[in-house]
Amino acid sequence: MTQGNTNENGVLLENLRLELRRGCLVLAVLAELRNEQYGYTLRKGLAERGLEVDEGTLYPLLRRLESQGLLASEWREEDKRNKRFYKISRDGKLVLKQLLAEWQGIGLSLEEILKESGHGTS
């Protein structure tokens, strides 16, 4: 395998990985915000659980989810600094429940497919 091919595969893998993570990230953010948090602690919490996300991805996502009515936010002072706190809304909770069911369905289907093709995860 040439250096060029390795680089191309690396870029391809990174793009596919980002695509795969994009949908999961919405789910993770909604689930994390069942408890009120501000952006930085949310980011740290996700990273500690193995889901690293940069600020350029997280904050636009939070704004989008808020504009869709799935999150609510308010500016509050904490440790002498103004911070924006986010929490899941009632609609958000409903959507999260439906998304989790979908996620579990996808997981089961994928496991079945991988088992059949001899690429079992275990």
Partner 1 sequence: MELLDRYLKAVKFWLPSEQKQDIVAELSEDIRSQIEDKESELGRQLNDAEVEAILKKGGPPMLVAQRYLPQRYLIGPALFPTYWMVLKLTWLCFYGPWLVIVVGLKIFASFGAAHAGAAATGMFEPFFRSLFIQFAVVSGVFALIERSHANAEFLKSWNPRKQLKVRDPNRVPRSSSISELAWYVMLLLWWVNVLRIPAISGVNITMAPAVLRLYWPILVLIVCQGTIDCVNAFRPRWNPRRAALRGIVDALSFLVVGYFLLIWVQGGTLVAVTGAKLASAEIAAAQKAITYGWSVVLLIWAAASYAARTVQDARRAANKPPIPQNWALRMLVGD
Listed residue (62, 71, 73) closest to 92, CA to CA: 71
Q: Does 16 bind partner 1 (CB under 8 A)?
A: no
**DSSP annotation of 34:** T
Strand order in the sheet with 71-78: 37-38, 81-88, 71-78
Q: Tell me the number of residues near partner 1 by CB under 8 A.
A: 16
The neighbour count for residue 53, using CB atoms within 10 Å, is 17
Which residues partner with 72 through β-bridges?
87
Nearer of residues 84 and 93 to partner 1, judged by Cβ = 84
Residues 28-87 that bind partner 1 (CB under 8 A): 38-40, 43, 54-57, 59-60, 63, 75, 81-84
| Of residues 81 and 119, the one with the C-beta less far from partner 1 | 81
Nearer to partner 1, 59 or 103 (CB): 59
Residues engaged in binding partner 1 (CB under 8 A): 38-40, 43, 54-57, 59-60, 63, 75, 81-84
